[in-house]
Structure 1
Amino acid sequence: MNSAYILTLSCPDRTGIVHAVSGFLLERGANIEEAAQYNDHDTGLFFMRVRFACETHDEATLCAQIGVLATSFGMNWQLHAAAVPMKTVILVSKDGHCLNDLLFRWKSGHLHIDIRAIVSNHRDFYQLAASYNVPFHHIPVTAATKAQGEAKQYEIIESEGAELVVLARYMQILSNDLCQKLAGRAINIHHSFLPSFKGAKPYYQAHDRGVKLIGATAHYVTADLDEGPIIEQDVARADHTDTVEDLTARGRDTESQVLARAVKWHSEHRVLLNGHRTVVFR
């Protein structure tokens, strides 16, 4: 496992990319363990994820050599040591079902992450955090203190070296500045099947419209509220007898499952950004 790496890349589509990448790995004695690719005919872009084992070269050497290959194809690429769990910080408010689910999956070994801290604008879950031996940071947020609060949040994120920030029902809108700083590494769970019912009370909107399906959407955070690239979605049935409380209770399970899948795929480097969309190699 210590010699296993994951290479992800995207570039303008052309012939010979797969041959070049596989040949590069073959020349270095690497064994390809998993490979997936996608040609987007709408954008003319090519996407690839390769997991391989290589005993003869260390990560720094591979990065330097991949850089030479990447230049000739105009690649955006990343190389990751497969054995290293992704350092993660979780933000949460007063609904803890997604937080509880992520913590349990992490400790059960089902998520390849390393939860370094939990940050909340409420104190409700400090005992839950302590039961998992995770540092808990209470940072109240008001209109007057929002800038200072976000500065403290970002300081924690950076000090923990977080590669992933999860908004596990964190019910504060992030500023444009913080969204830009966390671009591509912050995942939000929205309790609706986007693009329907954006905003703070989607279950109320869904009930008012009498929908027959309620959903949840995990997406990357952007400055445009609930508009970020979608990673995963799912739905649950609803009918005319359901109250708002019924929809909310039923939706919690869907939210937890959708967010967990998105976190899993991101932490395994299976999600590549494709403009305002994503490519997910499941």
Structure 2
Amino acid sequence: MVKRIGVLTSGGDAPGMNAAVRAVVRKAIYHNIEVYGVYQGYQGLISGNIKKLELGSVGDIIQRGGTMLYSARCEEFKTLEGQLKGIEQLKKHGIEGLVVIGGDGSYMGAKKLTEHGYPCVGVPGTIDNDIPGTEFTIGFDTALNTVLDSIDRIRDTATSHERTFIIEVMGRNAGDIALWTGLAGGAETIIIPEEGFSMDDVVARLNKGQERGKKHSVIVVAEGVMSGTEFAEKLKEATDMETRVSVLGHIQRGGSPTAADRVLASRLGARAVELLLDGKGGRAVGIEANKLVDYDIIQALAMKHQVDLDIYRLSKELSI
């Protein structure tokens, strides 16, 4: 029977991480399990920055963005020596299982610990929505709403000045943020890494809009394709149309998590604890068709994230 577990957040922060930490701590304490927070991700694990968490430790955090446990990149943990140092610290504190909340880099760390025989459970926390084994990741919905609000505001300016605006959004190598916000924001064109694009087609769509009296347009570009500035330069080479570029940047990571992200984080965090209580390490939790699922973490990382191309096709049909 597991008596003591740890929890850490790693990689880029995402709204809802705090809700997930809260769920892990309170679910564990409900079952009389001690919980220790590992601060500053894998770097903190190596250095032993580990403290016991109580019920009050996670009070008043469910509504906060970011992560109370902080996060840091750690090149040392990619090495065998670093991993063994981390396991040594876990054993020193009597921690028998670890919940890792983060993206694919965080999962890789959990995978390495699993391969060393240390039970870990991965919880998908990233705005990019690029983790296999789950339809949605913690932070994705909040980021969508943040981006959508920006698109709506930029469209007001685009309308006033009769211009085409190019909006660069995050997502790393996945186009989910661009795709979902582009459809929801009525973007005339969406550029994602999963689908190639023709600049001639982009220009033709813009010209077609102008021919029917449309005087402004919004183009959403995923950072995994190219920068907004680079896209604007290519568009300028193909047409004399005046454009402006907006790079939303790290604003997409911050802010109070939406209800959807708070609920998702609570469900996934609690499920991670249940798996450890059942003696099931080396797992990754997720959600599919609104049902909680879990996969072998090594198997999950071998899967390929799939963007919903039906949404992409719909966006092209609705933006004629």
The structure with the largest alpha-carbon Rg is 2
Q: Which has the higher helix share?
A: 2
Q: Which has the higher contact order (CA 8 A, sep 6+)?
A: 2
Tell me if both proteins adopt one fold, taking TM over 0.5 as the criterion: no
TM-score category, normalised to shorter length: 0.3 to 0.5
**TM-score for both structures, normalised by structure 2:** 0.35
**TM-score for both structures, normalised by structure 1:** 0.39
